């Protein structure tokens, strides 16, 4: 009989596991996801800043799976795992499994700050990115017609919490938008009132990367006009005021939260199997400890058995992809009665784009920056996109946008059912 594999989450880990087992007659695979599409998280900030269309980095699951004879799609959200009966409960029905793979990823971590969670703007998915885009554009329109200087400054101030790759890339993009677009399209706005802050609790930007990358990002963003505040953290956000740990108060209607992530909650997994950052503890085969038929992959998995990464693997796309491919091989080996292969992570480096024609790249053994690093970043971020058309369309859009410095999709859209009669 075919083994039924249920995969929860259609991100890098989920899709790569499916590709490893596609058209294998020994397996029936069901992907469960609350969205009907896969999207590419590393470019989500470009959607939020009106630089690219959401469709450029998204691809429908059903269209992708139409070529796979052993893959089904179930649209729904996980409610609970029932390990004793091998049942996954979702808000759209229950599913029985032989193997369950949890690849839900993470969500924004607000560190138990209720006001920040309620009022800050996260950027973890397409919906949040589109909401942030609308928010920024609406504030610009309001600032353009506002005569009160204090109010105009509050509308134009933007605070980004988090100095990792996402925060740095977003700060660079917003700074360049102000440089190339705001001056031309919003002549009513006094740009001298605009302030873009990048805040991080650590002493450097891009803390996991090389010293070269850290210094380059700081220097480039400072030259673009970004006000960088290090060794301070956000403590509260109320009444349109950001309160920092050093006593500084910044008035703004836009606090963008890229400061941390936490694993998505999976009811049914025992609390003792949940580790730091709400990540699920797994063994060297990505199997949830003491649960023979349940596995966890990607950002939500915490494996402490890799000697090179005793505190767990980095929450990066490459780790998720490699884990998925290894698990695919092991599920096949289980069927064939062969010994399983322990997972070891091959660190291929990290990178971040800072501004137009300027990026930093850390590879094992050496690092580089500038235009070549920028081209490398573009190439690396084109390859993983799902669908040849998406790759071509994004490449052409990037070429046009970098030449003209003028993205044309700054549309304020309100998805809403039309109840008026024609």
Beta strands in 174-317 (DSSP E): 196-200, 227-230, 234-238, 241-244, 249-251, 255-257, 261-263, 280-282, 294-296, 301-303
Token pair belonging to 173: 């993009």
Cα–Cα–Cα angle for 42, 47, 49, nearest 5°? Answer: 110
Q: Domain coordinates of the chain in residue numbers?
A: 3-34+76-108+261-336, 114-259
Output the CA torsion 83→32→103→386 (10° steps): 160
3-34+76-108+261-336 and 114-259 share one CATH topology? yes
H or E element that contains 266: none
For 305-324, what is the HEC assignment? CCCCCCCCCCCCHHHHHHHH
Q: How far is CA 288 from CA 88, 284, 301, 406, in A?
A: 15, 10, 9, 48
R_g (Cα) of the chain, nearest Å = 23
Q: Which two tokens stand for residue 109?
A: 């971590």
Print pLDDT tens along the chain (422 aa): 899 999 999 999 999 999 999 999 999 999 999 999 999 999 999 999 888 888 889 999 999 999 999 999 999 999 999 999 999 999 999 999 999 999 999 999 999 999 999 999 999 999 999 999 999 999 988 988 888 888 888 999 999 999 999 999 999 999 988 887 877 888 888 766 789 999 999 999 999 899 999 999 999 999 999 999 999 999 999 999 999 999 999 999 999 999 989 999 999 999 999 999 999 999 999 999 989 999 999 999 999 999 999 999 999 999 999 999 999 999 999 999 999 999 999 998 999 999 888 999 999 888 999 999 999 988 888 887 877 777 888 888 778 777 776 666 677 876 655 544 44
Give 237's Cβ-side CA count (13 Å radius). Answer: 26
How far is CA 190 from its chain centroid? 33
Q: Which CATH superfamily is domain 3-34+76-108+261-336 in?
A: FAD/NAD(P)-binding domain (3.50.50.60)
Integer angstrom CA distances of residue 344 from 219, 327, 400: 36, 12, 41
Q: Are 246 and 58 in contact (CB under 8 A)?
A: no
Could you tell me which CATH number the domain at 114-259 has? 3.50.50.100
Q: What is the pLDDT of residue 421?
A: 45
Q: How far is CA 307 from the centre of its chain?
A: 27
Give the pLDDT of residue 416.
Answer: 57
**Residue 293, both tokens:** 């038929």
Residue 78 has which token pair?
Answer: 């996980």
pLDDT score recorded for residue 391: 81
Give which of 108, 138, 106 is closest to 120, Cα–Cα: 108
Cα–Cα distance for residue pair 294/296, rounded to 1 Å: 7
Helix (H, G, I), strand (E, B) or coil at 364: coil
Tallying the residues shown for the chain, one arrives at 422
Residue 372 vs residues 116, 243, 359, 375, 405: alpha-carbon distances, Å: 38, 39, 8, 5, 20
Q: How far apart are the first and last CA of the chain?
A: 56
Helix (H) or strand (E) holding 62: helix 61-65
- Residue 185 has a pLDDT of 83
């Amino acid at each position: 009989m075919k083994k039924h594999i249920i995969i929860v989450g259609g991100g890098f880990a989920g899709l790569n596991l499916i590709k490893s087992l596609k058209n294998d007659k020994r397996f029936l695979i069901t992907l469960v996801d609350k969205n009907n599409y896969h999207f590419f998280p590393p470019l989500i900030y470009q959607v939020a800043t009106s630089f690219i269309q959401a469709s450029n980095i998204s691809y429908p699951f059903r269209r992708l799976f139409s070529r796979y004879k052993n893959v089904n799609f179930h649209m729904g959200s996980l409610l609970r795992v029932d390990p004793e009966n091998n049942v996954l409960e979702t808000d759209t029905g229950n599913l029985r499994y032989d193997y369950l793979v949890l690849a839900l990823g993470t969500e924004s971590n607000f560190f138990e700050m209720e006001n920040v969670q309620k009022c800050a703007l996260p950027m973890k998915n397409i919906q949040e990115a589109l909401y942030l885009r609308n928010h920024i554009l609406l504030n610009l329109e309001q600032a353009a017609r506002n005569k009160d200087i204090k109010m105009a400054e509050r509308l134009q101030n933007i605070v980004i919490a988090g100095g990792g790759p996402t925060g740095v890339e977003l700060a660079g993009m917003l700074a360049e938008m102000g440089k190339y677009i705001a001056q031309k399209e919003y002549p009513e706005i006094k740009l001298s009132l605009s302030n873009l802050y990048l805040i991080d609790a650590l002493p450097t930007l891009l803390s996991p990367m090389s010293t070269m990358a850290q210094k380059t990002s700081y220097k480039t963003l400072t030259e673009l006009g970004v006000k960088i505040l290090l060794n301070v953290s956000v403590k509260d956000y109320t009444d349109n005021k950001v309160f920092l740990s050093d006593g500084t108060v910044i008035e703004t209607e836009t606090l963008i939260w890229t400061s941390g992530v936490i694993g998505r909650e999976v009811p049914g997994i025992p609390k003792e199997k949940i580790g730091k950052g709400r990540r699920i503890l797994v063994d060297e085969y990505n199997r949830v400890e003491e649960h023979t038929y349940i596995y966890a992959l990607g950002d939500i998995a915490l494996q402490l058995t890799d000697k090179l990464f005793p505190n767990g693997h980095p929450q990066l796309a490459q780790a998720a992809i490699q884990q998925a491919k290894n698990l695919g091989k092991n599920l096949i080996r289980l069927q064939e009665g062969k010994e399983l292969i322990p997972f070891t992570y091959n660190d291929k480096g990290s990178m971040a784009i800072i501004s137009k024609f300027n990026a930093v790249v850390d590879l094992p053994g050496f690092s580089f920056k500038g235009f070549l690093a920028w081209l490398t970043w573009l190439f690396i971020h084109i390859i993983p996109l799902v669908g040849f058309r998406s790759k071509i369309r994004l490449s052409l859009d990037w070429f046009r946008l970098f030449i003209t410095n003028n993205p044309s999709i700054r549309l304020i859209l309100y998805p809403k059912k039309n109840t008026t009669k024609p």
